[in-house]
Structure 1
Amino acid sequence: MKDQITTLRDQILLATLPHVEDSGWTWGIVEKAAAECKAQDEMKSGIFPNGIVDVVAHFSDYADRKMMEKLAKLPTDTLRSKDKVRLAILSRNEILENNKGAVKAAMAFWTIPSHVIQGQRVLWRTSDCIWNWAGDTATDYNRQTKRALLSSILMGTNMVWIGDESEENIITQAFLDRRLENVMEFGRTIGTIKKIVPNLFRQANQRK
């Protein structure tokens, strides 16, 4: 049943996307898309119980699922975590290449005060999805830090990518590479601090 609901939501979403760039994310265009899919009854029964917020969230979920399907077909066993994260972000953007207008409208939608918290959850889910696929098994504060940093990278990269008209989005790739390197450097610094601090405490105790 859950798969059937997801499939129908996907159909309505895909019928909605061509209209988003001109009209933004509105419930009216979703209702028209549902009519095209002959899903008026499902709309009445609450296939998107929270209205337009659920539709925009489903857009991100759809992109995440398609990203994972794409990544599953690629040889990635020899890639480092950073390279896997890079590949995932670029693959997701590639999937959404023809819907940059919808992505831009979604980013604007999530800045509306009443939508901000849900927007943060949606972004976090994407970050979590990417890190889990990249092999991250951290359970301490590193897990939260990695996902928070990746959420920031995703936001910044998408903002560059939306306006990127270069061949193969070279500008976006260069921006992403710089951001990832900065994060890796931050991670190395944190790792060093974690090693140094216990030593300092031990040395202090020895002097007592």
Structure 2
Amino acid sequence: MKINRNKILLRLLKNITEYEDFDDALLSTLSQLKINQDKFYDIKQDLLPKGLSSLMKELNLIINQIIDKEQKPSRFKNYKINEKIKYFVIRRLMVFQNLVDKRKFFKKILKPNLIVSSNKTLFKIADEIWFLAGDKSTDYNYYTKRIILMNIYAITFSFFVFDNSKDLERTKKFLDREISAVLKFGNLKNKLKKNIKF
């Protein structure tokens, strides 16, 4: 029997918040998909060797695939960089909430042992968004941009988890404020560099 990787992952994402134990969630997923439970250890080893940490990584890849296949807005090429960043951040959040119960999942991943994995995932998300926005920097700005976006994404995600507004309107406004604050700080820094001589 051929194993459908994405089918398992998508069902597991629905189940994971209903179980305390990761293995129980995976076993339930296999049962629902009528996959022989003898394959449990092979599937876990191949797909999710690090349990919830691996699932977070896979979720990120699934979201990337979905967004990559989507048709962008007709005026997308005319968007400014910050508008492209906003677009991709919000699209990721919308796709995320369609795949999982956002509050329960947030609570599930908010654990000390997942901090390193969460930071790695955040960096990959920031990198993907900058890539899709057309960033081609290779100097130290490459890391600076991604670290700043990591922080913006993390704080926006925390706000989004508790946002029940239509089409995430409150999250969009929150993200606008966060990006505006960074842009203002960047402009101030550039002015200081021009006016202050050492």
Contact kept, 8 Å, 2:123 with 2:146, in 1: the verdict is yes
Paired residue total = 192
> Partner amino acid for 2:168?
N
Change (3 A) 1:24 1:152: farther
Q: Which residue of 2 aligns with 1:69?
A: 69
Identity of aligned residues (%): 23
Q: Which residue of 2 aligns with 1:145?
A: 144
SS class of match (1:14): helix
**Deviation above 6 Å: which 4+ runs of structure 1?**
none
Point out the more displaced range, 37-46 or 163-172. Answer: 37-46
Q: Distance in 2 between matches of 1:25 and 1:144?
A: 36
Q: Which residue of 2 aligns with 1:80?
A: 80
Change (3 A) 1:188 1:111: same
Change (3 A) 1:61 1:106: farther
* Unaligned residue ranges in structure 2 (runs of 5+): none
Structure number with greater Rg is 1
Contact kept, 8 Å, 1:127 with 1:151, in 2: the verdict is yes
Task: Report matched runs for 1:104-183 at 5 Å.
Answer: 104-183=103-182
What is the CA-CA distance between 1:24 and the residue it aligns to?
A: 5.7
Q: TM-score, normalised by structure 1?
A: 0.79
Contact kept, 8 Å, 1:25 with 1:52, in 2: the verdict is no
Change (3 A) 1:85 1:150: same
Say whether 1:44 aligns with 2:41.
yes
Q: Deviations over 1:128-151 (max 9, x none)?
A: 000011111222222212111111
SS class of match (1:171): helix
Contact kept, 8 Å, 1:25 with 1:56, in 2: the verdict is no
| Cα RMSD, aligned residues only | 2.6
Contact kept, 8 Å, 1:27 with 1:52, in 2: the verdict is no
Q: Deviations over 1:21-40 (max 9, x none)?
A: 43367221122213333264
Contact kept, 8 Å, 2:103 with 2:162, in 1: the verdict is no
Contact kept, 8 Å, 1:109 with 1:115, in 2: the verdict is no
Contact kept, 8 Å, 1:67 with 1:92, in 2: the verdict is yes
What is the CA-CA distance between 1:113 and the residue it aligns to?
A: 2.3
